Structure 1
Amino acid sequence: MIRTYLVRALDLLATSLMEFALPLIVLSTTGSTALAGLSYVAEWVPRILAIPRAGALVDRWGAGRVFVLASAARVTLGAVAVTGLILWPSAWWLALVFGAASGALFETTFIAGEALTSALCDARPDDTARIQGRQGMVDEITMLCGPLMAAFLVQAGVVAALALVTVLALLAGVLARPLSPVRPAPVEEPRGALTTAIRVVRAHPVLLWVMVAQFPVNLVFALLTVGAPAVIMKGFGQGETAVGALWTVASVVSLLGIKLAERGISRGGLLRTGLVTLAVTALGGVGAGLSSGFPAFFVCAALATSTLGAVMTFLRTIRSKVIPQESFGATISLMVLVALLANPLAGLLVAVVPSGGLQPLLAVSGTLALVAVVIAISRMRTETRTYVR
């Protein structure tokens, strides 16, 4: 169990570092908010396209084997990008290319990691909330370290950031080798995996409403991830350190949120906890959009992003209880695919909307997310009686 958490931590740290560093690299190098938004799109489109095949590979070959192979490919690409930047220091676009390729491979390791964690929950059904809570802790610790390291390494140089991402991916792949793979399912191509996933969602409508709630909340997270640096640096005249401070505060608070969510699920009920965590995210986005000064924006943005761990604890718990283990890879791929479509959408919106319109955009997205969450949770209450309290 500890090895599974450690492998996941190293893998997520590499991705968190790249995800937060890339917009900063582009914004600092070009000074263009539009290019920073487009870089986010360029990073996320390959990731989304990789998800259907990732689920099929995990179900076909097993989570452990897929994780190791994807990590090896990631390390190889990282070495090539670092070498290229050493030879041509001005070729900052290599970081963008590596970010896109690395992100696509991460979605494969992410699905594999989710399958490994789900297998632990399947073996210990009474400890599902605790296992998912610990996984959420792992995620948030990496989210705490990632932004700090990104802000520091971007100032140190692009090569340093990419080199560390490569080393972290190497360590994750090496440690993942002894992990037992999830029992492979019969060979299934991505199209067949998608058909399987749709069949599972139709058989368990609660999964549809989980996606309805998750997509707009993810949009709020994504808009803050790609848009907050522009609002802080251009709108409020702060520096990169303030951006790193925002992510750090949010991650520290999120650790407490995970424990509260874990306790809330066991004592107050899964759906009630989900409603609170998702609503706080939406309201934080609304507050950040309506803030007129940096302190208020900082507090509201930190509040919205600090619920990420609690939200993921809720989502992972309900998915583990509902999705059949034999089709977990295909189904989780579909759900992750739908949720992550919010990321390139956020990048496009930031690229198109002038920097002065980013806060109103946050307010609107937060309001829509709140409405979607209330409707989805109310429908889940009628659909989840068989699975959860």
Structure 2
Amino acid sequence: MTGHTAARHARHPTGLLRSIYLPRTADALAFAMATYGIPLLVLATTRSSALTGLAFVLEWIPRLAVFGWAGAVVDRRGAAVVFFLASLGRALAVAVGALVLLLWPSGAVASVTVMSLAALTGVLTECSYVAVETAGAAAGRRAGARAHQVQAALLGIDQSATLAGPALAAALLLVGPSSMLAVIMVLSLLAALLALRTPPSPLAPARASKSSTGAGLLTGWRTIRSLPALGWLVTGLTLSNLTIGLFQAAGPVIVVNHYGQSTTAVGLIWSAAAAATLVTVAVCRFAIDRLGLWPVGAACAAVASLACLAAAQAPDYLSYLILVAALMAADGGMTVVLRTLRSRLIPADRFGSTLSATILILLLPFPIAGAFTALTPPDALAHLLTGCAVLQAIGLLFAFARLRTDPALRT
């Protein structure tokens, strides 16, 4: 860090609570409500499973497209500026959407509005996410020896928001679409105001141009290919994410149409999953210290595969909720393994680009899952989930079989 940058940070003595944790909390809640609430809003407005799946696609494709660009903008302009503008833009978008739905609650105008909201909130939420992640990483570096405490707190904030956000969005949707969007707008405005307290992150050198995004992702891809252990784990988790994406995209259709539950029941599933993930992440931290990465990762992979296969054929809503929660909890354990492995293997000078490439690969299955949901008749969704569950089980089996003797997971 240069002397000029250090001086800039020194002028921001604001505590972590007001400068990092509170902005992260407001943004994470808005993030969770938009991600899980918009597809529910589409289903409630259009009554179409195809449009619900398409909305999921429209949420994720812009996120993937903007991912590298958002990182480059954060590097050039700073996390605080991007965080403020993205949060303010999301507040304005949902405010306009709420007003339109208040005037035209159904019909073509309502359908176009909710589909547009899916795309706009996807882009703006990804920009704010990259910005707050950058701010959190900078806070960890400034914390020095207490960096792990900062990251643990940020992870807890994210999981808590995932626990509360879906249930809150579903409950507000029962009152009316405008109510849910109004709360997202308030949280986004709060995040934008709190972003003004966020310390600026160190700006990248002037050489960070528009072309650096593609070059950085190419460097990250080459690094992943040069690290077999990381490559196999990313491959297994990518196949697993395809199935998880299907459960997220098809969840509203399955719960509402197949099990005859309300939209609130959909939110409860992801809140239960977030609670189970919080417990699993805490347990895995101790288990990895005692047993190592491979046994913990392999156990989580086995649980995820079995839970996924069973959830695809769940006879009632309660068993479906429990099995999806078990699937997401096991996925959380595998994510701990991935983060630990990635911190051990990726060279420091290529960490940022490799991290971006890894996240991009892991997110690619989500819009694909939305497309599958949109193209599949509601009665055939269970068969689609079963097929993807089998693919997930095979992928995780091969990945952890190849990793069984790898020194990186035995250290």
Structure 2 CA distance for partners of 1:141 and 1:122, relative to 1, 3 Å? same
Structure 2 CA distance for partners of 1:58 and 1:341, relative to 1, 3 Å? same
Count of aligned positions: 388
Q: Does 1:258 align with 2:281?
A: yes
Cα deviation, 1:305-326, whole Å, max 9, x if unaligned, reads 3345434433333334444555
Aligned residues of 1:143 and 1:251 also touching (Cα < 8 A)? yes
Structure 2 CA distance for partners of 1:71 and 1:381, relative to 1, 3 Å? farther
Distance 1:128 1:308 in 2: 24
Q: For residue 328 of structure 1, report the CA deviation from its aligned partner.
A: 4.2
Aligned residue runs from structure 1 range 264-275, under 5 A: 264-275=287-298
Q: Corresponding residue for 2:250?
A: 227
Q: Does 1:181 align with 2:197?
A: no
Q: Corresponding residue for 1:12?
A: 28
Query: Alignment partner for residue 100 of structure 1, among 115, 119, 126?
Result: 119
Q: Unaligned regions of 5+ residues in structure 2, if any?
A: 1-15
Q: Corresponding residue for 1:303?
A: 326
128-137 or 68-77, larger mean C-alpha shift? 128-137
> SS in structure 2 opposite 1:290?
coil
- Letter of the aligned partner of 2:40 in structure 1? L
Cα deviation, 1:80-112, whole Å, max 9, x if unaligned, reads 333444454444332321221121122222233
- Letter of the aligned partner of 1:8 in structure 2? R
Q: Corresponding residue for 1:210?
A: 233
Q: Corresponding residue for 1:114?
A: 133
Q: For residue 181 of structure 1, report the CA deviation from its aligned partner.
A: 0.7
Structure 2 CA distance for partners of 1:122 and 1:317, relative to 1, 3 Å? farther
Aligned residue runs from structure 1 range 215-364, under 5 A: 215-324=238-347, 327-364=350-387
> SS in structure 2 opposite 1:43?
helix
TM-score (norm 1): 0.88
Q: For residue 347 of structure 1, report the CA deviation from its aligned partner.
A: 1.0
Structure 2 CA distance for partners of 1:203 and 1:59, relative to 1, 3 Å? farther
- Letter of the aligned partner of 1:298 in structure 2? L
161-170 or 143-152, larger mean C-alpha shift? 161-170
Distance 2:97 2:41 in 1: 15
* Percentage of identical aligned residues: 32
Q: Does 1:192 align with 2:219?
A: no
Q: For residue 182 of structure 1, report the CA deviation from its aligned partner.
A: 4.3
Q: Unaligned regions of 5+ residues in structure 1, if any?
A: none
250-259 or 183-192, larger mean C-alpha shift? 183-192
Aligned residues of 1:56 and 1:330 also touching (Cα < 8 A)? no
Distance 2:143 2:305 in 1: 33
TM-score (norm 2): 0.83
Q: Corresponding residue for 1:23?
A: 39
Distance 2:302 2:146 in 1: 26
Query: Alignment partner for residue 69 of structure 2, among 33, 53, 75?
Result: 53
Query: Alignment partner for residue 63 of structure 1, among 68, 79, 82?
Result: 79
Aligned residues of 1:129 and 1:265 also touching (Cα < 8 A)? no
Query: Alignment partner for residue 75 of structure 1, among 56, 71, 91?
Result: 91
When the two chains are superposed, the root-mean-square deviation of aligned CA atoms in Å is 2.9
Structure 2 CA distance for partners of 1:127 and 1:205, relative to 1, 3 Å? farther
Q: For residue 17 of structure 1, report the CA deviation from its aligned partner.
A: 0.6
Structure 2 CA distance for partners of 1:5 and 1:329, relative to 1, 3 Å? farther
Cα deviation, 1:138-162, whole Å, max 9, x if unaligned, reads 2221111111111111112222222
Aligned residues of 1:136 and 1:309 also touching (Cα < 8 A)? no
Distance 1:112 1:203 in 2: 29
Distance 1:255 1:294 in 2: 22
- Letter of the aligned partner of 1:136 in structure 2? L
Q: Corresponding residue for 2:164?
A: 145
- Letter of the aligned partner of 1:27 in structure 2? L
Structure 2 CA distance for partners of 1:24 and 1:337, relative to 1, 3 Å? same
Aligned residues of 2:234 and 2:358 also touching (Cα < 8 A)? yes
Aligned residues of 1:59 and 1:330 also touching (Cα < 8 A)? no
Aligned residues of 1:13 and 1:146 also touching (Cα < 8 A)? yes
Distance 1:164 1:196 in 2: 40
Aligned residues of 1:40 and 1:226 also touching (Cα < 8 A)? yes
Distance 1:53 1:276 in 2: 37
